[in-house]
Structure 1
Amino acid sequence: MTLALFLRPLVPFFSYGVVPVMTKPHTFWKTWGGPLGLCLILFMLSYTIGVVQPIMPPLVREFNSSVGYVQSALVLMSLVTASFIPTTENLSRRLGRRPLLGMALLLYALGLIVIIVSPDIGIFTLGLAGLTGLGAAVLVSTPVAMMDGLYQDEVARKYGLVALAIAGMLGALTGSILGGIMAFDFSWRWAFAFELALIPVIWYLVRRVVAPTPVPTQAIDWVGGLLSVAGFGFTLVGLSLAAELGWWQPRDDPQTLAFFLAPFGISIAPVLIASGLICTGLLIFWERQRSRQGHPPLLRLGVFNRRIYTIGLTIGTLHTMAMVGLQFNLFQFIPAVVGLNPVQTAIAVIPFTLTQLVVLLVLAKRRPQFPPRYLLQLGLLITSLGIVLLVMAVRPPVTNLGLLPSLVVMGLGTGLFSTYITSLTFADTSEAERAEARGVYRPFQNLGASLGRGILGTILVGTVSVKIVDGVLAELGESIDPSVRREAVQALLVAIQTLRRSERQELFAELPDRIQPVLNSILQTAATDAMQLTLGIILALCLLCLGLSCLLPKTVRKLEAPIE
């Protein structure tokens, strides 16, 4: 209630001079400006997630940090967004969507400015996870709600929502390509400056879109919200850092590490996980006390109480984790094995995204002849087949043409899955919960994407590092102290994540002369074995999704537009 009273004076500023766009469609911009602006919002949000991966090497080097910390910032951003969406939905109904959208765009712009000028990883995380994460809590759900209001016709509304999904996919694709260009040729900070320039354009386009009139709503449980963010945030960050900092024993000497990285002589990862579990326990106690006193529940958790929605959300998040982790690993594997630069790599992986887009557009026009659950399961089976084909395609010699069939098959399966997972997930949600349900669904997919990059990417790079060090030692016929071996593996892991290909080649050139004739064979074998290991994990995740999908309803009353 306090925050709503604080924000209310800003409402007239963002509401001033607003004219409904659809009432006077005399010009192109008056007719299509609103929908375009809404699509640009989701384009921008997906761009933010997609651009971080290719700019990681120079970012990590400049901050003298690690990939694990950057991945943790992405996880926190997604978690903050997901945690506060129900709250921002409440505020949107109380203050109005358009005023709150303007405030969110300002907050998002402030977050981008903080990112651009950040001197270290801490300030970068504050901008990315804190400010843009909070702004995104409004931005992910508002386009859906406003697009619903733009069109009365059911078919037109569905195509509008499909356009939002496509805009999100294009944003992620643009981020991966533009980030690759910015990463080394310019500065990674310019990648976020591009987004900053979009914000005034977005506000100009959407300021005329009709929005529902504000209505009274329930009070908000801010303490519960903060406990939920702390509980889930500490736990997930601890899990994402454990592979890099150690599950219990610190990877480096505790005496040389800062206290916050190795408190009490142990890794920070279990401390974070334990803190998260404690905050989660406090959250449960707090909510029980409020429930006994007759207060409204935490952050309006309505959609989370829906069993089918929770199952579908879990399946969608696991699938996103698998597919984004796969793409991330391809961006690591292809440059090292095929020798492509980041832009060429993005182009090589495009068939996966293009096939998915084509499937979405084709199926959006048709009513399915078979139950949606069967079609979703068929998509998972096709995706699994594509992964098996990719396992065979990554064996030497690896070529772009050899990867193409597996990418197309996986794109076909993923497009089929994405078309129907939304409808099945929302099968037991009410119409009033639809915007909130969609708003929660998207950041959970971003969370899955962050975990996919963090966990599967770490497994790939870590396995490659171990196999290269062991391969070199085996060729030399030498054995070394385990602690020295761990240091060598850790140093190589950092080099793989932060150095350009030419710089890595210079590093390998320093190895003894008798290693050089077999070095390429060692590197190829290490990369292939590590990639096949991660593909096995991804295949297991897809099969897990297939098993969980049996808990979804076979049919639905209404087909929903997909969410990227």
Structure 2
Amino acid sequence: MGDANTTKRSGLAFWAPLIAAGLALFIVVVDSTMMNVAVPTIVKDLKTNVSAVQGVISLYSLIMASLMLVGGKLGGIHGVKRIFIVGVLIYGAGTLVAAISWNIAVLALGWSLLEGVGAAMVLPLAYALLVTNYEPREQAIGFGVLGGVSASAAAVGPILGGVLTSFFTWRLGFAGEVLIALAILPFSRYILERKTAEAGAAIDWGGAVFSFFGLFSLVLVLIMAGRYGWWNAKRPFVIGGTEIDLLGLSPTPLLIGLGLILLAAFVHWQMRRERRGQTPLVRLRVLANGTFLTGVTANIFQSMVITGLLFVLPLYLQAAVGYSAFQSGLAILPFSIATFVVSLGSAGLGQRIAPKFLIQTGVALLVVGAFLLYRVITLQITIPQMIIPLGVFGVGMGLLIAHLVNLILSSVAPDDSPEASGLNNALDQLGNSLGTAVVGSLLMAFFFGNVVTAALSDLGIESTPQERARIVVILEDARETFTEAERAQILELLPDAARQWLSRTADQAIVTAMQDVLVVIVGLLLVMFLLSTFLPRDKKRDVPPDERTP
């Protein structure tokens, strides 16, 4: 339930907390998608290399995901409003530093460190403040708005980044975020502060350390898995110029094991603190809440799907079809619009129709949208051809995000909402990393695999899967090593017949690879649908033992 004072407000005072949360969520989500387009320009301006800039982006994701639990808990201890504002100020300072950065180190300070810390506070508390400022019906509308804002920001980011990079400068992207961060402050004064039972308690720094390094390890491994492989090593593991011998294994399973051990230690540490009557980072009743855990797991798959699709589709349109960043952004616009409109328009349906049914309907529409997109994937695909598939996909996503997060946070007690939101957002970031790592790497793996298979077949050469995998790695490394001009020079050395064959093979390979990725996305959605069957029909809030009536 919201605060009793929520019923006394109207107009701007009533909607200002939602506006503040929406603006904060927008700048955090749009940041990465907008700046991904600007990577080549940033490399040129700061006189650095692509790997360094990608490292800055990865470090931002690592810091944000790893500190999300701490950010949510700080809101529960010191007040959601206070920590939300502090997070906005830190994030704004980071974007300012990034906007004026003169080398890669300063960019990392602003973008990776300051923005990462600020986002770790802002993201969980943007959702938590809806619980503390609105009654259940308004909460549903608020979660629908935030879901639409998040999806829209992810889709609009590449368009905005393309325009700024092409006609102005990438620095204006960060500068614009500074202005939005400042615009949040007047609205934040209307946020109601709700004191929880843990107000003034000491932060669980031991749990913070376990959770930070546990989540850091898992997100890091997802970033590295595409390059080094999930089990057997695809290529040597090198740190600081020194090759580390892992007995033929990729570092992926080792880091996954380390992350799981640290998270298991985190759970035992939480149990220990509760037995001693101390404040844990996450209450065990949150971890034992079946509805919350099922919803969070389903949300991980939702994040994988949306992040994966928004990563591979623009990549396909630009690299294979020849779209510009601006054109690929326009192509995704039907998805963005449909998601925003449906997430907002369907928010009130949860009062009349079981949220579980709406969530399952959303997943089913996502499957239909993926199937329709599969059918129109060609090298001649046009923006009009994508309107219906991406529109259907957007309608499904709108239904899903409007009700899934609401169901998740509505299942916990109000005092638990900041830390529950922190945990949900931390695992949401894990899903985002999985979407990029798994779906993104599969597109290139399928593409090169198809090229190698076709080449060996046409030449009549028999090969083992291991031999084909090694050739794929060589091609992937060549793609990273050679510049566009160098690749063009190599192609010029080939006879005309060889160039024509390579062009036909590559064209077919990338179309088939994109279709195969959509099949994988459908598989993820089917798993999500299966998980949704374990959700309750209606929202049931967990009540702390000390508040239960006999």
Q: Which moved more, 1:261-270 or 1:446-455?
A: 261-270
Tell me what 1:12 maps to.
Answer: none
Contact 1:337 / 1:524 at 8 angstroms: preserved in 2?
yes
Change (3 A) 1:182 1:506: farther
Tell me what 1:226 maps to.
Answer: 209
Change (3 A) 1:290 1:357: closer
State the 1:196 CA deviation.
2.5
The count of residues paired between Structure 1 and Structure 2 equals 528
Tell me what 2:544 maps to.
Answer: none
Contact 2:143 / 2:406 at 8 angstroms: preserved in 1?
no
Contact 1:234 / 1:275 at 8 angstroms: preserved in 2?
yes
Change (3 A) 1:277 1:212: closer
> Partners in 2 of 1:249 and 1:59 — Cα distance?
34
Residue 444 of structure 1: which of 415, 422, 427 is its match? 427
> Partners in 2 of 1:210 and 1:407 — Cα distance?
38
Change (3 A) 1:458 1:74: farther
> Partners in 1 of 2:176 and 2:36 — Cα distance?
16
Tell me what 1:43 maps to.
Answer: 26
State the 1:315 CA deviation.
0.3
> Partners in 1 of 2:330 and 2:36 — Cα distance?
15
State the 1:512 CA deviation.
3.9
Tell me what 2:65 maps to.
Answer: 79
State the 1:461 CA deviation.
1.8
Q: Write the letter of the residue equivalent to 1:491.
A: D
State the 1:321 CA deviation.
0.7
Give the secondary structure class of the aligned counterpart of 1:346.
Answer: helix
Structure 1 residue 305 corresponds to structure 2 residue 288: yes
Tell me what 2:335 maps to.
Answer: 352
Tell me what 1:181 maps to.
Answer: 163
Contact 1:472 / 1:515 at 8 angstroms: preserved in 2?
no
Tell me what 1:133 maps to.
Answer: 116
Q: Give the alignment of 1:20-59 within 5 angstroms.
A: 35-56=18-39
> Partners in 2 of 1:306 and 1:146 — Cα distance?
21
Structure 1 residue 489 corresponds to structure 2 residue 475: yes
Change (3 A) 1:397 1:208: closer
Structure 1 residue 527 corresponds to structure 2 residue 513: no
Tell me what 2:51 maps to.
Answer: 65
> Partners in 1 of 2:528 and 2:6 — Cα distance?
42
> Partners in 1 of 2:379 and 2:9 — Cα distance?
61
Q: Give the alignment of 1:157-196 within 5 angstroms.
A: 158-183=140-165, 188-196=170-178
> Partners in 2 of 1:206 and 1:506 — Cα distance?
57
Tell me what 1:419 maps to.
Answer: 402
Residue 378 of structure 1: which of 361, 367, 374 is its match? 361
Change (3 A) 1:146 1:503: farther
Structure 1 residue 318 corresponds to structure 2 residue 293: no
State the 1:75 CA deviation.
4.2
Structure 1 residue 112 corresponds to structure 2 residue 98: no
State the 1:437 CA deviation.
3.5
Give the secondary structure class of the aligned counterpart of 2:476.
Answer: helix
> Partners in 2 of 1:78 and 1:474 — Cα distance?
46
Give the secondary structure class of the aligned counterpart of 2:336.
Answer: helix
Change (3 A) 1:78 1:252: same
Change (3 A) 1:510 1:211: farther
Q: Which moved more, 1:298-307 or 1:54-63?
A: 54-63
State the 1:411 CA deviation.
1.6
Q: Describe the superposition over 1:451-504 as per-residue Cα deviations: whole angstroms up to 9, x where unpaired.
A: 212221111123223333554566677899879835631234427xx977x987
> Partners in 2 of 1:388 and 1:324 — Cα distance?
18
Q: Write the letter of the residue equivalent to 2:177.
A: E
Residue 441 of structure 2: which of 452, 455, 458 is its match? 458
Q: Which moved more, 1:170-179 or 1:122-131?
A: 122-131
Q: Describe the superposition over 1:131-184 as per-residue Cα deviations: whole angstroms up to 9, x where unpaired.
A: 323222321244445556666x76556544543333333332332222233456
> Partners in 1 of 2:240 and 2:427 — Cα distance?
32
Change (3 A) 1:193 1:268: farther
Q: Write the letter of the residue equivalent to 1:418.
A: I
Structure 1 residue 334 corresponds to structure 2 residue 320: no
Q: Which moved more, 1:432-441 or 1:413-422?
A: 432-441
Contact 2:334 / 2:390 at 8 angstroms: preserved in 1?
yes
Contact 1:144 / 1:161 at 8 angstroms: preserved in 2?
yes
Give the secondary structure class of the aligned counterpart of 1:219.
Answer: coil
> Partners in 2 of 1:223 and 1:477 — Cα distance?
61
> Partners in 2 of 1:413 and 1:103 — Cα distance?
35
> Partners in 2 of 1:238 and 1:318 — Cα distance?
18
Q: Write the letter of the residue equivalent to 2:175.
A: A
State the 1:525 CA deviation.
0.8
Q: Describe the superposition over 1:491-550 as per-residue Cα deviations: whole angstroms up to 9, x where unpaired.
A: 34427xx977x9876664454432222333222211111112211111111000111111
Structure 1 residue 295 corresponds to structure 2 residue 259: no
Q: Describe the superposition over 1:237-291 as per-residue Cα deviations: whole angstroms up to 9, x where unpaired.
A: 123302202446654456x763566366765444433432443354355445445
> Partners in 2 of 1:367 and 1:508 — Cα distance?
57
Q: Describe the superposition over 1:362-395 as per-residue Cα deviations: whole angstroms up to 9, x where unpaired.
A: 3234456543322322221221122122222114
> Partners in 1 of 2:146 and 2:425 — Cα distance?
11
Change (3 A) 1:371 1:246: closer
Give the secondary structure class of the aligned counterpart of 2:193.
Answer: coil
State the 1:425 CA deviation.
2.6
TM-score (norm 1): 0.80
State the 1:552 CA deviation.
0.6
Residue 221 of structure 2: which of 231, 238, 244 is its match? 238
TM-score (norm 2): 0.82
> Partners in 1 of 2:469 and 2:404 — Cα distance?
47
Give the secondary structure class of the aligned counterpart of 1:193.
Answer: helix
Structure 1 residue 410 corresponds to structure 2 residue 396: no
Tell me what 2:545 maps to.
Answer: none
Change (3 A) 1:101 1:284: closer
State the 1:418 CA deviation.
2.3
State the 1:308 CA deviation.
0.6
Change (3 A) 1:135 1:477: same
> Partners in 1 of 2:13 and 2:266 — Cα distance?
47
Identical pairs, percent = 25
Tell me what 1:4 maps to.
Answer: none
Contact 2:145 / 2:343 at 8 angstroms: preserved in 1?
no
Contact 1:319 / 1:545 at 8 angstroms: preserved in 2?
yes
Contact 1:379 / 1:412 at 8 angstroms: preserved in 2?
yes
> Partners in 2 of 1:138 and 1:190 — Cα distance?
24
Q: Write the letter of the residue equivalent to 2:62.
A: L
> Partners in 1 of 2:214 and 2:388 — Cα distance?
43
Contact 1:220 / 1:296 at 8 angstroms: preserved in 2?
yes
Q: Give the alignment of 1:357-368 within 5 angstroms.
A: 357-366=340-349
Change (3 A) 1:289 1:147: closer
> Partners in 1 of 2:413 and 2:216 — Cα distance?
29
CA RMSD of aligned residues (A): 3.9
Which blocks of at least 5 consecutive residues in structure 1 are unaligned? 1-19, 559-564
